[in-house]
Amino acid sequence: MAQIGIDLGGTKIEGVLLDAAGAVLARRRVPTPAGYEAIVAAVADLVGLLQVEATRPATVGVGIPGTVDAHSGRVKNANTTSLIGQPLRADLVARLGQDVRIANDANCFAVAEARAGAAQGHKLVFGIILGTGVGGGLVVDGVARTGPHGIAGEWGHSPLDDRDPEAPAAPPCYCGQRGCVETRLSGPAFERDYERLAGTARGAAEILSRVETGDRAARRALDRYLAFYGEGVARLLHILDPDAIVLGGGMSNNPYLPTLGRAAVEAVLFNARLDTPILRHALGDSAGVFGAAWLWSERVE
């Protein structure tokens, strides 16, 4: 049976249509609108568009920031905060007239990359999303571990120390804490830090492109970002020591991560050498669409 997978991100919604053999028939991307009703409508429209391209009815799986609470059936832990507390699955089912499976976006991403992407062949894979939000998925032998609260791998919501003595108070996080990994390593976090240092707002890609051109604030924001990255990833390694880490989300395209980022991890690691492969996504920075599509075919979690 054909399968549709949706990755619901903070800035864009991506969808893929797979044929029964798993080959990509279509891949589409639309901007994420503001407000819950508009998001439900945008997801349903994207599914509708992909259904038209499928010759037969297709199953629908959706990866979301946060997860659906097993007790209430409502979304929790989503950085797209308009989703929190909403009966998203029920609303999509009503709108589409067919059943829908939902899982955490980072889990979908990690499963996709572990089974068919950059981390293929590794037993314990940790998939990291560095996007509008920061999340993670823990995959063992191709299957995501979700845990009793559905929060396994939620790497983005523990605070990180800021070792810079001149740094301002840790930024607040939507989750209620301050200085979470997400407030340091998301795209908006990087842009905010640059704006604080430069007094001018710029997009993450532009900031990164200015690092080599003598923009001191860009260099400083990058150095701070890499220090947080090093500390955050090292903490992960100390707990899990996975066989591979794979990076997705817009900030995973930061060209300094494989070199300076890796060195920043090694500098604080509880080991003399860092052997863990830290891989860039192979199925696109929205690889989660595949894990979402597969929610109907095999055991994904």
Q: Which is nearer to ligand BGC, 2 or 65 (CB)?
A: 65
- The site for ligand BGC (CB under 6 A) is made up of 65-66, 77, 79, 104-106, 129, 131, 133-135, 154, 156, 182
Q: Which is nearer to ligand BGC, 58 or 103 (CB)?
A: 103
Residue 78 CB, shortest distance to ligand BGC, in Å, is: 6
Q: Which is nearer to ligand BGC, 46 or 129 (CB)?
A: 129
Q: Which is nearer to ligand BGC, 109 or 194 (CB)?
A: 109
Q: Are 91 and 201 in contact (CB under 8 A)?
A: no
Q: CB-based contacts of 55: which residues, under 8 Å, 6+ apart?
A: 2
Q: Which residue has the tokens 């919501």?
A: 157
d(CA 121, CA 160): 31
Q: Which is nearer to ligand BGC, 133 or 230 (CB)?
A: 133
Residue 51 CB, shortest distance to ligand BGC, in Å, is: 25
Residue 101 CB, shortest distance to ligand BGC, in Å, is: 16
DSSP H or E segment with residue 130: strand 124-130
d(CA 84, CA 296): 24
Structure tokens at 256: 């300094």
Q: Which is nearer to ligand BGC, 210 or 281 (CB)?
A: 281
d(CA 173, CA 26): 36
Bridge partner list, 76: 67
Bridge partner list, 137: 127
Structure tokens at 59: 């199953």
Q: Which is nearer to ligand BGC, 130 or 278 (CB)?
A: 130
Residue 128 CB, shortest distance to ligand BGC, in Å, is: 9
List alpha helices for 18-169, DSSP H.
Answer: 36-53, 88-96, 105-116
Q: CB-based contacts of 125: which residues, under 8 Å, 6+ apart?
A: 110, 113, 114, 119, 138, 139, 140, 242, 243, 244, 245, 246
Residue 288 CB, shortest distance to ligand BGC, in Å, is: 9
Residue 281 CB, shortest distance to ligand BGC, in Å, is: 14
Residue 91 CB, shortest distance to ligand BGC, in Å, is: 19
The closest alpha carbon to 47, from 14, 1, 81, belongs to 14
Q: Which is nearer to ligand BGC, 79 or 218 (CB)?
A: 79
Determine how β-strand 134-140 pairs with β-strand 143-144: antiparallel
Residue 205 CB, shortest distance to ligand BGC, in Å, is: 19
Cα four-point dihedral sign 168, 169, 170, 172? negative
Q: Are 83 and 64 in contact (CB under 8 A)?
A: yes
